[in-house]
Amino acid sequence: MRTIYRVLVADDEPLALKSICSIIDRRSKDYHVVATAENGQEALQKVREIRPDLIISDIKMPLLSGVELASMVKGEFPEICFILVSGYQDFEYAQSAIRSGVTDYILKPIVPSVLLRSLEYSVTRIRQIQYKERNRILRALGNGETVDLDKVKRYMPYSQYYGAILRTNGLPRRFSMDKTREIYSDIDEQYLIFGRDEMESMYLIPREILPEKEFLKYIQKIQRQQKEPNYYTLIYDSRPFLLEELQEKIRRMYQELDQRSCVGVTQSVNLENPSEHGPGLSVTELRKLEEKILVGLESVVRTRKSDQIMPEIRKGYEILEKCKPSQLWMESFTREVLSIMRQNGLCRLSMPESEYLLSDAFFYATSVGMLVDSLMEVFLHFEKDDTGSSRVDSREYFDMIVHYLKMNMGKTITLVELCHQFGISQPYMSRLFRKYSGNSFSQYLTELRMNRAKELFMEKPDSFIKDVAAMVGYEDQFYFSRIFRSYMGKSPSEFLKEIADGKISGSK
C-alpha cells in the first residue's frame, strides 16, 4: 500500500494556485491536493478541519501572511510540514521562514522541477515525523496509556491488524536503576514492532499485507527462531481486529502476558481460545499451598541452621513449580520468603539492594532451579562482601570480564555462562556490573556490541549490515537494526549514508 500524503495549497493568486495544484496532480505520485485556500485565515481554518500532511503557501497573503500561518500551524500542529512560496527574493523572508520551522522555501515563478524536488524532500521529512509519532503511540499503548483514536487513525493507515506479543524469559524489571531501551521497527518495515526492552516484541501486522494463513505461518516462524535455554511467552490472536479496537486489544494482550508468564515455561496462547491454556490450580488452592510452604519454612528458619534452611527453601520452590504459578505470583512468594529471612536476621541487605537483586534474578533465570540458585545468596546474606574476595571485587577483575566480552562478542553470551567462566554467582556478577558500569549485564553487553558495530561501519563503510550484525553477535539483521537505532538514534543504513555523505568520518 503506497502512502499518499495530503496537501493544502494556499495562494491569493488564482493562476499560481492552479499551477501548483496542476503540477502536483499530474507529476507527483506521493501527494494529493485535498484543499485550497485564497487567504491565510481560510487556510488556517481548513488546516484545523482536515489536518493535512503538507501545506504549500504563498508567503504574502491577505489576513494572515504565509510566515504567520506557518508559525500558528507549527504551534498547533508541529507534525505538519510546510513549504513557503514567494516572489520576493529578499533574504529577510527566507530568515522568517526558517524561524517559522518550514520544511522548504521556493521562489516564484514556480519551476515544476524545483517544486518536485521540494516535494520529494518533504516526503522524507513527513515520513520521519510520522514514524516518530507512530512510535510515540506504540509507546503509550504499550505502557497502558489512552491515545486519541483520531491520532491513531492518522498515523496507522491500515484498517485491520493482527496482533502478537513475544516475551523472552521473564517480565520487564519493575525495580531497576537502569534506563530502559525501548525497541521499535525500522522506518521502512511494514510490520509495526514495539518492545519495552530488548527481550520483548509487540507485533502489529496489517491484514492487507499478511492474510490469516500467512499470519499463522509467521507466528510459527517466530517460535522456531527462539533458542534454548531461554523460554518464551507468546500471546497472539489469530483473528484480525479493527483499528478502533487497537487499544483494547493491546491492553488484553499485555494483561494476558502478565497472567501467563511463568518462570522456565514456554507458552503460546491464542486469544481466540485462551481457556485451552488455563492454570492448573485455582487462586484459593494456590494460596493455601503457599501458606503451608511458608509456615513450614518459618519453623525451619527459626532453628537458624543453614544446612536445613536451604533444602527447605528449595523444596518450597519445587512444590510451587509443579503448579506452574505466574511469575508475578512467584515474585510475591519470594518476597514473603525474604521477609521471613529478614525477620530472623538471615538477610542484611538493604531493601533497595535486595529488590534490585530479586529483579535481576527473575529477569535472567531460565528455570526455577536457576532462579533459586540466584536467590539463595539474597536470602542468606550476612555480610556485604562475603561472596568474593577483595581481588574479585575490584576494577581490575571487572576489566578482565569486559575483556572477555570483547573477545567473544560474536558469540552468544549469557549471564549464566559468564558466571561459570569466572566462578562467581549471578547476584555477585550483577553487583559488579552495577558498581563499575552503572548498567545491568545485558545493557552493558548490548552497548558494547553497538559501539563495536559503529566502529566496524566506520572502518569499512562498504560492509554489509548482516555481516557486521553477525560479527557483534546477532543472527537476525532486522533485530540488530532495531537495537542499533535504539542505541545510536539512527538505523545502520542511515548511519552508513551519513558516512557516505561525509557527515561522519569513515575512518577512526
- For residues 87 and 172, membership in a common domain is answered with no
- For residues 78 and 122, membership in a common domain is answered with yes
> Given this model, what pLDDT does residue 234 score?
97
Is position 152 within any domain?
no
> How far is it, in rounded angstroms, from Cα 230 to Cα 232?
7
Domain count along the chain: 4
Is position 265 within any domain?
yes
pLDDT tens figures, 126-155: 999 999 999 999 999 998 999 999 999 989
> Given this model, what pLDDT does residue 436 score?
93
H-helix segments, 3-101: 14-27, 40-50, 66-76, 91-99
Is position 63 within any domain?
yes
- Identify the weakest region by mean pLDDT among 90-99, 217-226, 405-414: 90-99
Sort 399 into a burial class: Cβ within 10 Å, 0-12 / 13-18 / 19+.
exposed
What's the mean pLDDT in 85-114? 78
Main-chain phi, psi angles of 230, to 5 degrees:
-65, 150
> Given this model, what pLDDT does residue 278 score?
52
The pLDDT-based confidence of 385 (bands split at 50, 70, 90) is very low
Is position 36 within any domain?
yes
The pLDDT-based confidence of 105 (bands split at 50, 70, 90) is confident
What's the pTM? Answer: 0.88
Q: Residue 284: in which H helix or E strand, if any?
A: helix 283-301
Q: Residue 36: in which H helix or E strand, if any?
A: strand 31-37
Lookup: cell for 159: 484498517
What's the mean pLDDT in 366-395? 76
Contacts with 279 (C-beta within 8 Å, 6 or more apart), sequence order: 323, 324, 325, 326
Give the residue among 361, 383, 357 at the shortest CA–CA distance from 373: 361
User: Which residues are paired to 56 by β-bridges?
Assistant: 9, 83
- For residues 367 and 452, membership in a common domain is answered with no
CATH code assigned at 458: 1.10.10.60
> Given this model, what pLDDT does residue 262 score?
96
The pLDDT-based confidence of 387 (bands split at 50, 70, 90) is very low
Count Cβ atoms below 10 Å from residue 95 Cβ, excluding itself.
Answer: 12
Inform me whether the pLDDT recorded for 371 exceeds 90. yes
Give the residue among 221, 225, 185, 223 at the shortest CA–CA distance from 206: 185
Pairing of strands 81-86, 54-58: parallel
What's the mean pLDDT in 168-181? 78
3-class secondary-structure state, position 56: strand
Inform me whether the pLDDT recorded for 419 exceeds 90. yes
What's the mean pLDDT in 101-115? 89
Is position 192 within any domain?
yes
- Identify the weakest region by mean pLDDT among 31-40, 164-173, 344-353: 344-353
CATH code assigned at 116: 3.40.50.2300
Contacts with 33 (C-beta within 8 Å, 6 or more apart), sequence order: 7, 8, 9, 21, 24, 25
Lookup: cell for 385: 562482601
Q: What angle do CA 182, 148, 152 make, to 5 degrees?
A: 60
> Given this model, what pLDDT does residue 90 score?
58
- For residues 445 and 334, membership in a common domain is answered with no
> How far is it, in rounded angstroms, from Cα 457 to Cα 508?
10
- For residues 228 and 311, membership in a common domain is answered with no
- For residues 364 and 406, membership in a common domain is answered with no
Inform me whether the pLDDT recorded for 388 exceeds 50. no
- For residues 224 and 269, membership in a common domain is answered with yes
> Given this model, what pLDDT does residue 177 score?
54
Inform me whether the pLDDT recorded for 501 exceeds 80. yes
Inform me whether the pLDDT recorded for 322 exceeds 70. yes
Inform me whether the pLDDT recorded for 248 exceeds 90. yes
Inform me whether the pLDDT recorded for 386 exceeds 50. no
Q: Supply the mean pLDDT for the chain.
A: 90
| First-to-last C-alpha distance (Å) of the chain | 41
- For residues 84 and 176, membership in a common domain is answered with no
Is position 215 within any domain?
yes
- For residues 166 and 269, membership in a common domain is answered with yes
- Identify the weakest region by mean pLDDT among 106-115, 348-357, 471-480: 348-357
The pLDDT-based confidence of 364 (bands split at 50, 70, 90) is very high
Inform me whether the pLDDT recorded for 54 exceeds 90. yes
Is position 137 within any domain?
no
The pLDDT-based confidence of 383 (bands split at 50, 70, 90) is very low
- Identify the weakest region by mean pLDDT among 109-123, 280-294, 450-464: 280-294
Inform me whether the pLDDT recorded for 282 exceeds 90. no
> How far is it, in rounded angstroms, from Cα 218 to Cα 240?
14
> How far is it, in rounded angstroms, from Cα 305 to Cα 415?
30
> Given this model, what pLDDT does residue 281 score?
76
> How far is it, in rounded angstroms, from Cα 60 to Cα 45?
17
> How far is it, in rounded angstroms, from Cα 9 to Cα 20?
8
- For residues 219 and 305, membership in a common domain is answered with no
Q: What is the DSSP string of 148-186?
A: -HHHHHHH---SEEEEEEEEESSPPPSS-SSPP--EE--
> Given this model, what pLDDT does residue 89 score?
65
- For residues 306 and 229, membership in a common domain is answered with no
> Given this model, what pLDDT does residue 227 score?
87
Q: Which of 348, 379, 410 is the last residue of a domain?
A: 379
Put the strands of the sheet holding 160-168 in their side by side order: 183-184, 192-195, 200-206, 160-168, 232-242, 267-270
Are the C-beta atoms of 84 and 67 separated by less than 8 Å?
Answer: yes
H-helix segments, 184-305: 212-225, 246-260, 283-301
Give the whole-number percent of the chain exceeding pLDDT 70: 92
Give the whole-number percent of the chain exceeding pLDDT 90: 70
Is position 386 within any domain?
no
Give the residue among 183, 324, 180 at the shortest CA–CA distance from 259: 324
In terms of pLDDT, which residue wins out, 264 or 89? 264
- For residues 260 and 367, membership in a common domain is answered with no
Q: What angle do CA 357, 360, 364 make, to 5 degrees?
A: 145
Q: Which domain holds residue 412?
A: 395-500
Q: How many residues does the chain have?
A: 508
Count Cβ atoms below 10 Å from residue 466 Cβ, excluding itself.
Answer: 16
